[in-house]
Amino acid sequence: MSVLVYTESDNGTFKKVALEVASYGKAVADQLGTTLTAVTINAKDTSILGNHGVDKVLNVTNSKLETFNANAYAEVIKQAAEKEGTKVIIVSSSADSKYLAPLLAVGLNAGYASNVVEAPSSTSPFTVKRTAFTNKAFNITSIDTDVKLIGLSKNAFGLKEHSASATVEDFSPSIPDNGVHVDAVDKVTGKVTIADAEIVVSGGRGLKGPENWGMLEELAQVLGAATACSKPVSDLGWRPHSEHVGQTGKPVASNLYIAIGISGAIQHLAGINASKVKVVINTDPEAPFFKAADYGVVGDAFEVVPKLTEKLKAFKAQQ
């Protein structure tokens, strides 16, 4: 009957979203008066999970699962859920978890609600709040099936600490043959990704051309931030498509989003609105972004950004 979370790892180390789903899972388990089980795949050290409320870890180690495969991973989680007699399963909103979740939902006949931002407001009926219309609204959804699957939005519930330790059990599910084979993975190393970043520094058409991104990258480096851009910037080929954020690009749910030379069109704002704190730097005080931002600087990016970088360097040096 325990609640099950899939705590995903990257090269054996848990992602932050894994600890978020554990924290969320603990809250749901408390609501239901039950325990929390986590299933891990090729994780190196699972001890941290106890600190976020996990009672029991089902530890899967299998060389067949070294590269992510949605079908196989969904099957592992399904078997873990069946073993535990789980009624509520929680996964994150990472690209991988969003890939496997619909497969898992069908496999378990589970009703699935994605982009959930809060603990259930009621467990009978089982009611959750999720974002809709690309963050322009929320939808209160009830999951009406016996088994329920929740996709938790990134950076929505936060991390909760519990001082406990989890028991660890090795688990060896059967792994199905895969119809999709990964031939090559091309992953930028040593750079913060938009998905994982706490801070995102984003540039728009106001930066005039690709040659001017140096100052933005420097700012990002000082902050340990990921870089992003508006849609026209990627359409013009100034920056790669993978940096395009917004309604038709990547969603951003960081702690801090700094928009530089971005007007704040509705399609842009929709995709980044889930960020906690927004800063805008723009020459035009009428730019719509000022209505969406928490802090704003009306000024020329070419002067403001290098100065801000210097100030932040000094600040970091003091820390």
Partner 1 sequence: MKILVCISHVPDTTSKINFTEGDTKFDSNGVQFVINPNDEFGLTRAMWFKEKQGANVTVANVGGPETEPTLRKALAIGADAAIRVNTAANDGFQVANELAQVVNDGGYDLVIAGRESIDYNGGMVPGMLAALTNANFVANCIGLEIDGTNANAVREIDGGKETVSTTLPLVIAGQKGLVEESDLRIPNMRGIMMARQKPLTVLEPKGAAEETSSVKFEKPVPKGAVTLVSPDNLDELVNLLHNEAKVI
Which residues in this chain contact ligand FAD in the complex, by CB under 6 A? Answer: 204-206, 230-233, 246-249, 261-263, 265, 267-268, 271, 281-284, 287, 300-302
Contact partner, 302, from partner 1, ligand FAD, none, Cβ < 5-8 Å per class: ligand FAD
Q: Which of 28, 166, 256, 272: binder of partner 1 (CB under 8 A)?
A: 256
Residue list 100-159, contact with partner 1 (CB under 8 A): 100-103, 105-107, 109-115, 127, 129, 131-145
Q: Is 124 exposed, middle or buried (0-12, 13-18, 19+ CB in 10 A)?
A: exposed
SS3 assignment, position 226: strand
SS3 assignment, position 44: coil
Contact partner, 284, from ligand FAD, partner 1, none, Cβ < 5-8 Å per class: ligand FAD
Cα 204 to Cα 47, 237, 281: the distances in Å are 43, 12, 10
Rounded least distance, CB 152 to ligand FAD, Å: 23
> Distance (Å, rounded) from C-alpha 203 to C-alpha 215?
10
CB 102 within 8 A of CB 89: no
Taking the least distance from each CB to partner 1, the nearer of 49 and 192 is: 192
Stretch that binds partner 1, among 24-32, 37-45, 202-210, 235-243 (CB under 8 A): 235-243
Angle between helices 95-108 and 70-84 (to 10 degrees): 50
Look at the block and give the residue holding tokens 């933005």: 216
CB 191 within 8 A of CB 249: no
CB 247 within 8 A of CB 134: yes
Rounded least distance, CB 268 to ligand FAD, Å: 3
Q: Which of 5, 19, 233, 279: binder of partner 1 (CB under 8 A)?
A: 279
Rounded least distance, CB 50 to partner 1, Å: 26
Residue list 72-91, contact with partner 1 (CB under 8 A): none
| Number of C-beta neighbours around residue 242 at 10 A | 14
CB 266 within 8 A of CB 250: no
Rounded least distance, CB 238 to partner 1, Å: 13
7 makes contact with partner 1 (CB under 8 A): no
Rounded least distance, CB 95 to partner 1, Å: 5
Taking the least distance from each CB to ligand FAD, the nearer of 236 and 277 is: 236
Taking the least distance from each CB to partner 1, the nearer of 45 and 310 is: 310
Taking the least distance from each CB to ligand FAD, the nearer of 120 and 249 is: 249
Angle between helices 214-223 and 301-318 (to 10 degrees): 20
Contact partner, 261, from ligand FAD, partner 1, none, Cβ < 5-8 Å per class: ligand FAD
Rounded least distance, CB 145 to partner 1, Å: 5
70 makes contact with partner 1 (CB under 8 A): yes
Contact partner, 113, from ligand FAD, partner 1, none, Cβ < 5-8 Å per class: partner 1
> Distance (Å, rounded) from C-alpha 270 to C-alpha 134?
6
CB 306 within 8 A of CB 215: yes
Amino acid of residue 222: V
Rounded least distance, CB 16 to partner 1, Å: 12
